Amino acid sequence: MKTVYLVRHAKSSWDYPELTDFERPLNKRGRKNAPEMGERLKSRKVKFDLAYSSPAIRAAQTARIITKYVHYGRKQITYLEKLYHCEPQDMIEVIEATDEQNETIAIFGHNPSLNGFVYNFFNDFHENIPTCGVFAIESDAEKWADFSRSKMKCVFFDYPKNKQDSNAG
């Protein structure tokens, strides 16, 4: 069994027009929401064997904050250029190339990539993954290389404004 946590970066700042899209940092709300979602993952006893992140500042900041809560060292985050402005197929390639010793991975990225990935495998899911949202997927694949052809289920979908499920374990 393999598990993937798709995490959209937290809310970013538009206050600095001189910055490129890649350079935009988290804003105040993003810096508040990322620890909140980290706490929720911790309460669910989530652990990452491996964490991938887009190298864009807002995604990297989100990854560094959230991984603290699941006891995953920030120096262990793997930053992949291909996760910035990627297609769902790029994410599949990252997942399916993952070393087999890892059972649980996290991908910190962006929309529309994350939405596209989820819509590709979950036809009944029509929501937007909001900033700092987490979509957890469990697969019956024994090997990462079989992930895209495996049977999958959504373990949970949580996000900062989702108060009804915030304490679920």
**What are the pLDDT digits (tens) for 85-132?**
999 999 999 999 999 999 999 999 999 999 999 999 999 999 999 999
Residue 108 domain-assigned (yes or no): no
Range of the domain at 19: 2-103+113-158
| Chain segment 4-22, per-residue pLDDT in tens | 999 999 999 999 999 999 9
Distant-in-sequence contacts of 116-120, Cβ < 8 A, 24+ apart:
116/87, 116/88, 117/6, 117/88, 117/91, 117/92, 118/6, 120/88
Total structural domains in the chain? 1
In a domain, 138, yes or no: yes
- Give domain status of residue 130, yes or no: yes
- The pTM (predicted TM-score) of the whole model is 0.94
- For residue 58, being part of any structural domain is answered with yes
Q: The domain that contains 75 carries what CATH number?
A: 3.40.50.1240
Any domain includes 163: no
Give the pLDDT of residue 133. 98
Is 42 a member of any domain?
Answer: yes
